[in-house]
Amino acid sequence: MTLRRREFLTLAAGIAALCALPCVTRAADYPTRPVHLIVGFPAGSGPDVIARLAGQALSARLGQEIVVDDRPGAGGNIGTEAAAKASPDGYTLFLAVSANTINASLYTNLNFDFARDLVPVGTIALTPFVIAVNPSFPARNLSELIALAKSGPGTVNMATAGVGSGSHVSGELFQMMAGIKLTHVPYRGNYLPDLLGGQVPLAVSPMPQVIEFVKDGRLRALGVTTARRSQMLPDVPAIGEVVTGYEASGWFGLCVPRGTPDDIIAKLNAAISEGIADPKIRERLVAAGAEPRAMTPAEFGGFIASEIAKFRKVIDFAAIRPQ
């Protein structure tokens, strides 16, 4: 039997529609089984805590268990690579953090490209860093710190969580924009005992690590790194109030492997945005030292691009190399 052209085209269109139908149905019904959320840091770390809160919010709205899968190592790169190479079916999510945008320039031999291989879904929260000093430190505010550093370049030591960490790069950005030079003292372990004891006068620290010491007066906060003052320390100025344009926050968001269907990404974005708008989730995020922040996939994508560009300049300026 010979098909006429019109009949052939009609039949072909019908076959194409049938082939597409399972994908549409899959997206509409998603998820039908547990979803894994890869975290590039160990259990009990800040990213792990945020991932578990996000997982609870997603699970309640998607109707499936969110399994947090911690894969620590290499500054978060092991987990990032696992997520980048996962199947793009919506059943592997990745907790992206500010370190990913730093690592994109810090490491030159990665087997993946964070900006290319992972697609943004939406943000969860920001975590400010704090410039905190021992109470014996002579500078009582940011202006005095800048003046002191300019009078003796390199004479003030700055503790951070390690070379290439968010606190390190945030501190280097402050120096670059303020035109000063501090001496970097990277710690592989906890620098708080030395900061509290005065062995090191100043640290750039994630807010959760120092907020209670600031509140009880054992440390003094000179500035927070967010663009605006933090609701957690409202009396502490944003660094941008003194150094115009400064902003460098830790942050947490969700990404998925490139190729994940757009409607699944939209469904995930809606779920996480609704989740962090829930007063109970917001309260728990704030208690963990994170400020809830929602973005669309497009907004998050633009934010990631700007963060990579910003930190590339800092890494080049300070000649930071991984250790």
pLDDT (tens digit per residue) in 4-58: 545 544 444 454 544 544 444 356 799 999 999 999 999 988 899 999 999 999 9
Q: Cα–chain-centroid distance for residue 140?
A: 30
Helix (H) or strand (E) holding 126: strand 118-127
Which range has the worst mean pLDDT, 22-31, 220-229, 279-288, 304-313?
22-31
Mean pLDDT of the chain: 91
User: 119 and 254: one domain?
Assistant: yes
**What pLDDT is stored for residue 322 in this prediction?**
87
Please indicate, yes or no, if residue 197 is contained in any of the structural domains.
Answer: yes
User: 185 and 202: one domain?
Assistant: yes
pLDDT band of residue 288 (cuts 50, 70, 90) is: confident
User: 101 and 161: one domain?
Assistant: no
User: 115 and 255: one domain?
Assistant: yes
Residue 89: give its domain's CATH number. 3.40.190.150
User: 66 and 205: one domain?
Assistant: no
Please indicate, yes or no, if residue 189 is contained in any of the structural domains.
Answer: yes
User: 116 and 215: one domain?
Assistant: no
Q: Which two tokens stand for residue 103?
A: 């690592």
Q: Are 226 and 237 in contact (CB under 8 A)?
A: no
User: 139 and 212: one domain?
Assistant: yes
Please indicate, yes or no, if residue 153 is contained in any of the structural domains.
Answer: yes
Sheet containing 202-206: give its strands across: 183-186, 157-160, 202-206, 129-133, 220-224
Q: Show which of 241, 266, 289 is a domain's final residue.
A: 241
Domain coverage including residue 63: 31-127+250-318
User: 120 and 264: one domain?
Assistant: yes
User: 217 and 68: one domain?
Assistant: no
Distant-in-sequence, close-in-space partners of 19: CB < 8 Å, separation ≥ 6: none
Q: Show which of 241, 274, 298 is a domain's final residue.
A: 241
Please indicate, yes or no, if residue 200 is contained in any of the structural domains.
Answer: yes
Please indicate, yes or no, if residue 185 is contained in any of the structural domains.
Answer: yes
Percentage, residues of the chain above pLDDT 70: 92
Q: CA separation (Å) from 261 to 28, 266, 269, 299?
A: 11, 9, 13, 18
Residue 231: give its domain's CATH number. 3.40.190.10
Helices 5-29 and 262-277 pack at an angle, to 10 degrees, of 20
**What pLDDT is stored for residue 189 in this prediction?**
80
Residue 165 φ then ψ, to 5° = -70, 165
Residue in 111, 90, 77 with CA at minimum distance from that of residue 271: 90
Q: Is the pLDDT reported for residue 199 higher than 60?
A: yes
Please indicate, yes or no, if residue 18 is contained in any of the structural domains.
Answer: no
Q: Are 93 and 265 in contact (CB under 8 A)?
A: no
Give the Cα-Cα-Cα angle 32, 37, 43 (nearest 5 degrees).
Answer: 140
State how far the Cα of 273 lies from the Cα of 296, in Å rounded to an integer. 9
Please indicate, yes or no, if residue 93 is contained in any of the structural domains.
Answer: yes
User: 179 and 220: one domain?
Assistant: yes
pTM of the model: 0.86
Q: Show which of 222, 241, 260 is a domain's final residue.
A: 241
Residue 167 φ then ψ, to 5° = -65, -40
Please indicate, yes or no, if residue 20 is contained in any of the structural domains.
Answer: no
Distant-in-sequence, close-in-space partners of 313: CB < 8 Å, separation ≥ 6: 176
User: 235 and 144: one domain?
Assistant: yes
User: 133 and 219: one domain?
Assistant: yes
- Domain total of the chain: 2
Residue 291, classed as helix, strand or coil, is strand
